[in-house]
Chain A
């Protein structure tokens, strides 16, 4: 989950009306914000990826005002239609990044902390909604450096301009090759010869989406008026993203003017709220409450939505930036939040159900009990293991290897096809402990099938100077007799990678081989640095005691 750092004193100011830090800290979790760490004035909170408006303190302050009852209902959004702010879209963009949208925000002031918050918002939006800028990305510009109308078009890779945080001109190719953002996001543009660009009426480049802005329009703490543009491959998600920015900038005190968008399937963004009409009854039913319609309305308003009673129904108005609200169940959650999760009292459902364990679990349980009775300690190993343990150290055939892609851990790169190598690894790690050492494990092993087969195996190993084949065969026989009521035989096996020649056998039930038993080969023991003798068996339980 993403994290935002908040200053408590700033939050107090943004919320207004005599709030204190304790109230704020107590309320944050009830907005779904987990306190990750807390300093004297700084609190870091985790917020849900479906609430990008909580990526800044401006958005969080709006939420807190609601839940604390200081300011309820949907904040009204005024967007002036007047003004000559326009961006025209060239058809050539349709093949690479077809959509652009934007807004003019004026008369605001951005101090250092506010700039930090806006940057956090931008990064969050790029990562989440924007799918690492692929789907949509934002540019924020100093409005006063720009002449309208703007043009969203494409250009060749040798086009030059001065990129953000630089003083010298570079070509697009150079930016993609030499800058960090270029290398990180250049792939989005593929091999396309033409790349998207926004230029102003004077022909100055102001942005090279989705990579970098021009230095020309750098936003500083002196900036009062800004242009926000969002480009992307999906019109709705570009507008979703813009709506979050607008909600946050509104919280930061900006006033808005429309940016007209035209050309090539583009249009001026619409920030109109939506309405959902719903019955109070199902909402109460799913929450287990019986609250009145007027209470429901109040709950929704606390979540900064608008709501009115419409006869027996309720009409809820949802601001543009709350696109996380899909339908009725999302309204149920808003009601629950407005009602206060703390006020929801746990109940006990009256119903008769007889619980049951899965047969496999039950049988594995009884095997565990028997094996510990025989003096074997239960170990647990990952089903994900390494080639080194599973194949190299055991000299086993690795032709049927099943690998995972791009594992972050070298010890977890392939799926085990047997349990025993893991037990040998366990012995290897315990050579300084007292002997005898006896381990067993039950668990899933994998083999190629259609596309993959999972079976449950039991393996056990006994290591000491005195141990021998007979000891292990005794355990095997007793397990089969007491545990499974099955007779098993051991039949000489000419060779097996893990075991000593002449001291290894197949375990046969009926006419089928169900496993192997033997004394571990000295080479294998040496690979695991085990200095005592060791005997082991492994059996497949599927088809033996369960399907």
Chain B
């Protein structure tokens, strides 16, 4: 798309070209440039636009020009070999050997052949060898004529040059392609003066406009937040930096669990939480670990600050502090994993987690809420498989079918918080939780196959990214 192709019927460049061609019908692009004082580049663009609009025709012609090669320059100075030959025999016939003294190698053969062709000489076989004698006064040959024309920068006819072209390095041929522009009938009939009346080309292409936009991932986050609210969930939030206590211990993750190692979790250097939780909460969590995992539970380990590995730490703290009998809450935001970045893994990404608390809540209800959630964001084919999460039991994962990819994709996980998690924190009603990464959904929505794209902030992508569902 050329930005110059604005809405006027004809661009000023086009008008200038048309004006010129209406008075001088056939002109090359060079001539047009010369006459209009426009650059070659402008002329080429203008001609191309006119051609697309069927206002002008372009004929490609190839012009041949010639210059003298090494042998040609020599011939200009000293004569062609055949001229040299006739000069030698001008004053009387000579034998081959005598001629060879002056004309050697290929020159000799060429001289004989061309002098004979020009009908300048006779060759007579005698006892002492072949003898060359002048047949008639040699006039200027065609080849000589061509050489002198080229020397005078005049263009010889290509058919005349042919014979000289066959001889080595006498003439160099140059091909030059030129475009000759002429107007078509509609082009000839354009009334340039009338065009300036203000009519515009309403059908012409126009430049794209860049809108300032909400980031595509944020757009998905907003949609998911709205959907949770529609389903009756209330948003809670909490810090990105958390004590290990709420991120791990309160969720019954033993202190020697592999997930707590440096290679999976970001620990903050030299930072420990001073206040963890209420003394009862700490005591009960500690006891649950001792009973369930049989080890010495170390409060210092629980004080270590981490970047939260899930939003569950926010949910569990809310539940432990509020102990609701019934609730629908959700928490959404950044979570962190010490991962190598790849097309499917980020060190920092977004997660959402919803929790339903209620005396009569069932696993089937949780599946139903999830199915409704997917329906609302446009994912209609859903199925469930069993899986494992350390702090829920039973645990399920949901799969949604992606028509475009033609396969099932694992999305949110879900489950009922283990009693080992809820009991020590004084939560007595069943807590059903579900959630997962948001980037995955955004990838489906924006047809992105490398998750890093969301954080590249590549302006051309931000300007053009489109939602596919």
- Residue B416 at the A interface, CB < 8 A? yes
Write the chain A residue with the least CB distance to B229: A355
Q: B418 and A349: CB pair below 8 A?
A: no
Q: B348 and A383: CB pair below 8 A?
A: yes
Q: A32-B386, A346-B364 are in contact. Are A351 and B263 (CB under 8 A)?
A: no
- Residue B368 at the A interface, CB < 8 A? yes
Q: A378-B218, A433-B459 are in contact. Are A357 and B225 (CB under 8 A)?
A: yes
Instruction: Determine which of B240, B396, B420 lies in contact with A341 in the assembled complex, contact meaning CB atoms within 8 Å.
Output: B396
Q: B228 and A402: CB pair below 8 A?
A: no
Write the chain B residue with the least CB distance to A132: B258
Report Cα–Cα, A426/B348, bound state, in Å.
Answer: 17
Q: A358-B237, A379-B462, A405-B262 are in contact. Are A326 and B271 (CB under 8 A)?
A: no
- Residue B230 at the A interface, CB < 8 A? yes
Report Cα–Cα, A346/B365, bound state, in Å.
Answer: 6
Q: B418 and A329: CB pair below 8 A?
A: yes
Q: Which of A362-414 contact B (CB under 8 A)?
A: 365, 368-369, 371-384, 402-409, 411-412
Report Cα–Cα, A5/B372, bound state, in Å.
Answer: 36
- Residue B185 at the A interface, CB < 8 A? no
Write the chain A residue with the least CB distance to B264: A408
Interface size on B, residues (CB 8 A): 90
Write the chain B residue with the least CB distance to A372: B212
Stretch at the interface among B51-59, B69-77, B140-148, B355-363: B355-363
- Residue A234 at the B interface, CB < 8 A? yes
Q: B459 and A437: CB pair below 8 A?
A: yes
Report Cα–Cα, A351/B394, bound state, in Å.
Answer: 23
- Residue A107 at the B interface, CB < 8 A? no
Q: Which of B251-299 contact A (CB under 8 A)?
A: 256, 258, 262-263, 266-269, 271-274, 292, 294-295
- Residue B178 at the A interface, CB < 8 A? no
- Nearest chain B CB to A45's CB is how many angstroms away? 12
Stretch at the interface among A152-160, A449-457, A517-525, A535-543: A449-457
Write the chain B residue with the least CB distance to A385: B348
- Residues from chain B with a CB closer than 8 A to the CB of A281 are none
Residue from B212, B394, B396 with most neighbouring chain A CB atoms (10 Å): B394
Report Cα–Cα, A288/B368, bound state, in Å.
Answer: 11
Residue from A32, A346, A379, A407 with most neighbouring chain B CB atoms (10 Å): A346
Q: B347 and A412: CB pair below 8 A?
A: yes
- Nearest chain A CB to B253's CB is how many angstroms away? 12
Q: Which of A120-175 contact B (CB under 8 A)?
A: 127-128, 131, 134-135
Report Cα–Cα, A7/B22, bound state, in Å.
Answer: 81
Q: A378 and B267: CB pair below 8 A?
A: no
- Nearest chain A CB to B284's CB is how many angstroms away? 16
Instruction: Determine which of B295, B362, B363, B455 lies in contact with A382 in the assembled complex, contact meaning CB atoms within 8 Å.
Output: B455
Q: A384 and B271: CB pair below 8 A?
A: no
Stretch at the interface among A108-116, A195-203, A330-338: A330-338
Q: A337 and B358: CB pair below 8 A?
A: no
Instruction: Determine which of A329, A347, A353 lies in contact with B416 in the assembled complex, contact meaning CB atoms within 8 Å.
Output: A329
Q: A451 and B234: CB pair below 8 A?
A: no
Binding site for B on A (CB under 8 A): 1, 29-32, 34, 48-51, 127-128, 131, 134-135, 234, 236-237, 285-289, 326-330, 332-333, 336-337, 341-342, 344-349, 351-358, 360-361, 365, 368-369, 371-384, 402-409, 411-412, 415, 426, 429-430, 433-434, 437-439, 444, 446, 450-452, 454
Contacts A361-B235, A451-B268 supplied; 19 other A-B pairs, CB < 8 Å: A34-B387, A127-B258, A131-B256, A135-B256, A346-B367, A347-B365, A349-B356, A349-B360, A353-B232, A381-B455, A381-B457, A383-B240, A383-B348, A384-B348, A404-B267, A404-B268, A426-B459, A444-B240, A452-B271
Q: Sample 28 A-B pairs with CB under 8 A, ordered by A number.
A: A1-B388, A31-B386, A34-B387, A50-B388, A127-B258, A329-B419, A330-B393, A344-B367, A347-B364, A348-B369, A349-B356, A349-B365, A351-B232, A361-B235, A372-B211, A379-B457, A380-B457, A384-B347, A384-B348, A403-B269, A408-B263, A408-B338, A412-B348, A415-B268, A437-B459, A451-B272, A451-B274, A452-B241
Binding site for A on B (CB under 8 A): 210-215, 217-218, 222, 225, 228-237, 239-241, 256, 258, 262-263, 266-269, 271-274, 292, 294-295, 305, 307, 326, 328, 332, 334, 336, 338-341, 347-348, 356, 358, 360-365, 367-372, 383-388, 393-396, 410, 416, 418-420, 430, 454-460, 462-463
